[in-house]
Amino acid sequence: MFFGFSFLVLIAFWIGTAMVATNVAEAKGLDGFSWGLVGFFFGPIGLIAVAGMPDRRLRHYMRSIAIKLEAIEEKESVRLETTPVSTPAPAHKQTYIYVDETVKDQQEILASVFEQLTEEERAIASAETSHFSPRKMGFVCGRDGRVIVRLGYVGRRDGKHVWKRS
């Protein structure tokens, strides 16, 4: 009788651990079902493991805030996109490159990106070997084909595609 009651309490505890692990995983943007199974089979150890996992929702939110904090550079880049190509490029490297999302032609995208490069980068860059794709990576390459600047696509912001320099 005591064994049966203890077994039921143990099963209830393991199911409770699985439910809490599922809730914690879903709150962190992880797969709740998988972590629920881990919580059920490993008990409190599984719950500790899911609690130690990184929070994907928080990281996404922090990335959105970082893009928003770059609003000062974004306004500056809007000014750069409307100036003629003969205008000197900024002396400092911008962290982010912005291109209007209505621009679909590869040559126009390249022209907009090249306007935001520094004078030194623009001097050695080649439009023929460079490539940019919305929602993907972009590469500014030199005449010899070597990558000068690699840009990772971050997302869209205020009607613009945003790439981060790396």
pLDDT tens figures, 1-57: 667 888 888 889 989 999 999 999 999 989 999 999 999 999 899 999 999 998 888
Cα 51 to Cα 49: distance, rounded to the nearest angstrom: 5
Does residue 108 or residue 88 have the better pLDDT?
108
CA of residue 10 relative to chain centroid, distance = 42
pLDDT tens figures, 133-146: 666 778 888 888 78
Residues 131/47, Cβ–Cβ less than 8 Å? no
Q: Which of 39-43, 66-70, 93-97 is least confident?
A: 66-70
Q: Residue 75: its pLDDT value, please? A: 39
Which of 147, 163, 146 is closest to 155 using CA atoms?
163
When the pLDDT of each residue in the chain is averaged and rounded to a whole number, the result is: 78
Place of tokens 């805030």: 65
- Residue 149's alpha-carbon distances to 80, 83, 100, 140, in angstroms, are 19, 22, 20, 5
Cα distance from N-terminal residue to C-terminal residue, the chain: 66
Mean pLDDT value across residues 54-76: 67
Long-range contacts of 153-156 (CB under 8 A, 24+ apart): 154/63, 154/67, 154/96, 155/67, 156/101
What is the value of pTM for the model shown? Answer: 0.42
Cα 14 to Cα 43: distance, rounded to the nearest angstrom: 6
